[in-house]
Amino acid sequence: MKGHESKMPRMEDILNLPVQDPPCTEFSAADIKWVKVEGGRQGGDDIALIPFARVDDFVKGESSNAECPASFRIESRRKRSEGSISKPRVDGYLEYTLYWCSYGPEDYRDSESGLGDVSNFKPATGKGSRPGRRHMMRGCLCHFTVKRLYTRPLLALIIYNQRKHVDKTGAPCHGILDQDAVGTRAMYAPRISEELRQKVMSMLYVGISLDNIIQHHMEVVQEHGGPHNRDDFLTRNDVRNIERVIRNTSHELHIDDECSVKVWVQRHQKHVFYFQDASGSEPFLLGIQTDWQLQQMLHYGHNGSITSHSTFGSKKLKYPLSTLLVFDSSQNAIPIAWVITSSLIGQDSHKWIGSLAERIRTKDPRWRLNAFLVDDPSFGISVVRDAFQCRVLLCVWHVRRSWIRNLLKKCCNIDVQREMFKHLGWILYSSRSGPNVMDAVEEFLEIFVDQSAFMDYFKSRWLPYMEMWVGGIRSLPVVGPEPHAAIESYHLRLKYKLFKEQHANFWPRIDWLIHSLTTEFHSLYWPYTYQMLMSYWTSRTSSWQRSSRKQIETWLMQFGILVQNFPSVIATCQVREISVSMSLRWL
Ligand SMILES: [Zn+2]
């Protein structure tokens, strides 16, 4: 302590500060209580502690400041490995990141004419200036530092060195308070938002042309009464840039699939909630959840249910795919996480389910799940109960569907098909209180012994698991028919997208599966939540729609929607009706 009384805390006291975790999905400096500390370049920096997991939410919130939209870029970054220092300072870092407003720190407002551009003089306001970083630099000094604390890696210390978007004279240098910026883009955020970028990307992925994207965008801007922010200024160049990114992105990040997956994981750490490389006896295990999927899980999973759709593509893909789904208000299934693993789905579920539950709780501690629907009794029921503290229900529709399909394929007599199906159902359900499962199965095998094709299939695919299934039905409530249509329609969409013959060469590569899921397949759900589909139907006469009917038809095919009545049908209803009638046949 120094000789005088001071209310200003010293850096040593930072661990006594409260950890602030505002309940909103994104938050800015205004949502946080700041404390001034001694020292710092301006004679006292503002500091605050937040959970490290929420740093992105803070950067996003801080970038959409209404008075001064900006985009904070990483000016410098340093990392240390754990255990590298023996006596860390209290504010010592594991990761150090300096974020700077993209309108600074250099100032080129007055020197634009000296850039050697012969075309004409660029006014100080930036109006008519060229695209590129340099012309945007307006001397803004706003910047902050984020330290992931060495002694507390779950915490981030934010040190706000300069909170105002001002130049070195102290005057506002962009945004609505800057008189020179009026009427120019320097009033607005410098880049389009991540949300719009994702939207454009998904439109490109589902095959909508540049012209139609711009046309659609202009209609949307007109609808809300002209441009208000940077997003409204979406240009053909913005779209072309995104198009180029898509064209230059390949699933193959390394010639060796394993290395390629590792590189992907390295580059997309934000979207990976669990990763374990195959080594020795350890199986390969990768859990993927994009930001958007996390949002859907927060939104539709809260007080709702999650369904697992497991072991998709076990014959074609290198490792099968499992998906967790939530249902929106119209009961459509939305994938909120993907798990690719070389082991059986139940075997290692304790590893990734815990991480997923923790991830969601970090975002919103009040988030609660009502029910978890498993489609395999070996899923790891107690793990789910522990992680989510909710009911677990069992789905058996796909078992019966598989039996029906094979009965239709392998037995030619309709009466026999019906009898066998009844008998199988009886084994599954009636043996709850009836005879021993294996006795009932034995009887079934004897009665229909001449149906050898079906029996071969049944013995190899189901016989070893019958006791487990019946046990599952005995101990868990069975899911009613409602969600089946949605799950089935998700299953069909996966099949349509992944198992096109032209992709056959890639099926054995995990990097291809990851890439397809997180780009093209992911995109199918983006426009859908944007309710773009609905708006296309309601504005049937728009020129946009007339000109791109062919594209919309292709798009609908991807959604598994029949096109014959287009556009007089409401898409989502039809999807549901088709799948409902389909699954009713299986019941
Ligand atoms: Zn700024």
- Let me know: does 75 contact 100? Beta carbons within 8 Å: yes
Q: Ligand 1 centre from 129 Cα, in Å? A: 18
Q: Ligand 1 centre from 24 Cα, in Å? A: 24
> Measuring CA to CA, which residue among 383, 311, 386, 377 is closest to residue 343?
311
Q: Is the pTM of this model over 0.85?
A: no
Q: Ligand 1 centre from 174 Cα, in Å? A: 6
Q: Ligand 1 centre from 179 Cα, in Å? A: 14
Domain 257-395+479-519 falls in which CATH fold? Nucleotidyltransferase; domain 5 (3.30.420)
Residues of the chain with pLDDT under 50: 1-6, 112-131, 529-531, 533-548, 560-587
> Measuring CA to CA, which residue among 341, 411, 405 is closest to residue 376?
341
Spell out the residues 6+ positions from residue 559 whose beta carbon is closer than 8 angstroms to its own: 493, 524, 528, 571, 575
Q: Ligand 1 centre from 164 Cα, in Å? A: 7
Q: Ligand 1 centre from 166 Cα, in Å? A: 7
Local structure of 58: helix, strand or coil: helix
d(CA 96, CA 39): 18
Helix axes 210-223, 194-205, angle to 10 degrees: 140
- Let me know: does 72 contact 99? Beta carbons within 8 Å: yes
What are the φ and ψ backbone dihedral angles of 399, each rounded to 5 degrees? -65, -50
What are the structural domain ranges in the chain? 11-187, 194-248+520-586, 257-395+479-519, 398-475
Token pair 């009427």 is found at 183
The predicted pLDDT at position 128 comes to 37
- The encoded tokens of residue 531 equal 């309710």
Q: Ligand 1 centre from 101 Cα, in Å? A: 5
The kind and range of the H/E element at 195 are: helix 194-205
- Let me know: does 125 contact 184? Beta carbons within 8 Å: yes
| CA-CA-CA-CA torsion sign (264, 269, 271, 272) | positive
Q: Ligand 1 centre from 132 Cα, in Å? A: 17
Q: Ligand 1 centre from 25 Cα, in Å? A: 23
Residue type, 111: S
Strand-pair partners of 339: 287, 322
Q: Ligand 1 centre from 102 Cα, in Å? A: 7
Q: Ligand 1 centre from 120 Cα, in Å? A: 27
Q: Ligand 1 centre from 114 Cα, in Å? A: 23
